[in-house]
Amino acid sequence: MVVLSNGDAHFEPAGAINGAGTYETARLLRQRYGEQAAIILIGPAGEQMLRGAGIHNLDGQGRPSRIHARGGLGALMGSKGVKAIVIDHSGDHKPKIADPDRYRIAQKQFLQALLAHPQSSIYREFSTPGILGTCNTFGALPTRNFSDGFFEDADLLSGEYFRQLVLDRGGDGGVSHRCQAGCAIRCSNVFAGTDGKEIVSALEYETLGLMGSNLGIGSLDSIARLNWHANDLGLDTIELGASLGIAAEAGYMQFGDEAGAQKLIDEIRQNTPLGRILGNGAHVTGTVLGVRRIPTAKRQAFSAYDPRAIKGSGVTYATSPQGADHTAGHTIRAKVDHLDPRGQAALSRELQIRMAGYDVLGTCIFASFGFGTAPGTISELLNARYGWEVGEDILHVMGKHTLELEREFNRRAGFTAVHDRLPEWISTEILPSTGSVFDVPETDLDGVFDW
């Protein structure tokens, strides 16, 4: 373990937490270092250096449920022999603000814009499952290993059903939960079982899509239980759900079978050969099991939006430096014909620039609702915080520069235009829910970063 405090950094033996799940690891570390310590940790999947492993952080109640999920970061941490990083909370860590009054004014303007945005209210009331019905209507909800975009039991996973079920059960459950202090949207949640006891927090849309409809499972309780085990192992639920969908396609479980999915997850926990295949992600799973429909770009699993139905997001999946990732430039809210390949590359380009800029700022993706309405607050907050005088184009400046750096990193790692593509099957296999394939021209894909 790495222990950081004011003016000191040292290593300590991990001891009993070696091999422990994330929940037990968090409990033991909070017991040892206090409930105010910031803790970053990995689960058994990270220790096994599985490519689907993430790095977990604690939420306000000490749950190891906020995860740096994509790209196998947990495996990187595990490769260095680091089980956890503990940051001592003592001392004054408040940032110094160059112009506090100017900062408060800009902060107020941003919060007013954020809270007035209708999408903020939707996520506050329904959490991220609120988007599921829209995706199903668009025919974009991954179903049975992306063989369809419409799930017949979507109503049982929808934000409306989710909210009512949580409220009816009461107990530990709740909607409009903060994942961290100070959050104004409160899009997180706590999902409880029929006995009112917590199963998992939070149960997010991406998990419902990849470990629910993608596995043919239409039960919130089933998905929540699988979600808890994924968290405890330290696995990204997008990557794991995609791997399990491929395994079902290959006959290793039945679609719709929670017990079958759990048995495969247990293989990962036991570090069996099959478990290592699954834990290493969708690309490895599909390649080893001989499945043609492998939903990945740059060997990273598709998020829970089929790119044949939302083609702008498909462009992002293909061209984003980090591979298939909706947070890199998701186009679902754009007022366009999502089935028309024309203009999708330009749309993706604009959103990739913006989202790379937001990543530099370190803001939640949903902060874009406020910044999009009041874009001038970005430069005002930066100028007041640091004493700068940057212009209102700073988001684009930072976004473009970041993408250029990321693409240069990829170039040096051997990536070329050939890697800015989706798999061949997505361009030939018709999506039944929409009758479409992914048909954005390759020349458009090659021109995304020509600014």
Residue 141 DSSP label: S
**Number of domains comprising the chain:** 3
Confidence at residue 184, expressed as pLDDT on a 0 to 100 scale: 87
What's the chain's average pLDDT? 96
pTM exceeding 0.75? yes
Q: 22, exposed or middle or buried, with CB in 10 Å at 0-12, 13-18, 19+?
A: buried
Q: 335, exposed or middle or buried, with CB in 10 Å at 0-12, 13-18, 19+?
A: exposed
Same domain? For 116 and 234 the reply is no
Closest CA to 53 of 216, 235, 270: 235
User: Is there a contact between 74 and 35 (Cβ–Cβ < 8 Å)?
Assistant: no
Structural domain of residue 339, as residue ranges? 97-126+307-451
Same domain? For 274 and 135 the reply is yes
Q: What is the mean pLDDT of residues 332-339?
A: 97
Instruction: Tell me how far apart the terminal alpha carbons of the chain are, to the nearest angstrom.
Output: 44
Separation of alpha carbons 376 and 383, rounded Å: 11
Confidence at residue 6, expressed as pLDDT on a 0 to 100 scale: 82
Confidence at residue 2, expressed as pLDDT on a 0 to 100 scale: 97
What count of Cα atoms within 13 Å lies in the side-chain half-sphere of residue 4?
A: 8
Query: For the chain, what percent of residues have pLDDT higher than 90?
Result: 92
Boundary (domain end) residue, out of 289, 306, 323: 306
What does DSSP say about strands 296-297 and 198-200: parallel, antiparallel, or unpaired? unpaired
Confidence of residue 182 (pLDDT cuts 50, 70, 90): confident
**Whether the predicted pLDDT of 94 surpasses 90:** no
Give the CATH number, domain containing residue 8: 3.60.9.10
**Whether the predicted pLDDT of 93 surpasses 70:** no
Confidence at residue 241, expressed as pLDDT on a 0 to 100 scale: 98
Give the CATH number, domain containing residue 324: 1.10.599.10
Same domain? For 292 and 221 the reply is yes
Separation of alpha carbons 341 and 197, rounded Å: 47
Confidence at residue 92, expressed as pLDDT on a 0 to 100 scale: 65
pLDDT digits (tens, 9 = 90+) for 317-332: 999 999 999 999 999 9
Q: What is the mean pLDDT of residues 282-293?
A: 98
CA 378 to chain centre: 24
Same domain? For 44 and 156 the reply is no
DSSP character string of 51-119: TTB-EEE--TTS-S-EEE-TTSHHHHHHHTT--EEEE---S--PPP-S-HHHHHHHHHHHHHHHHHSHH
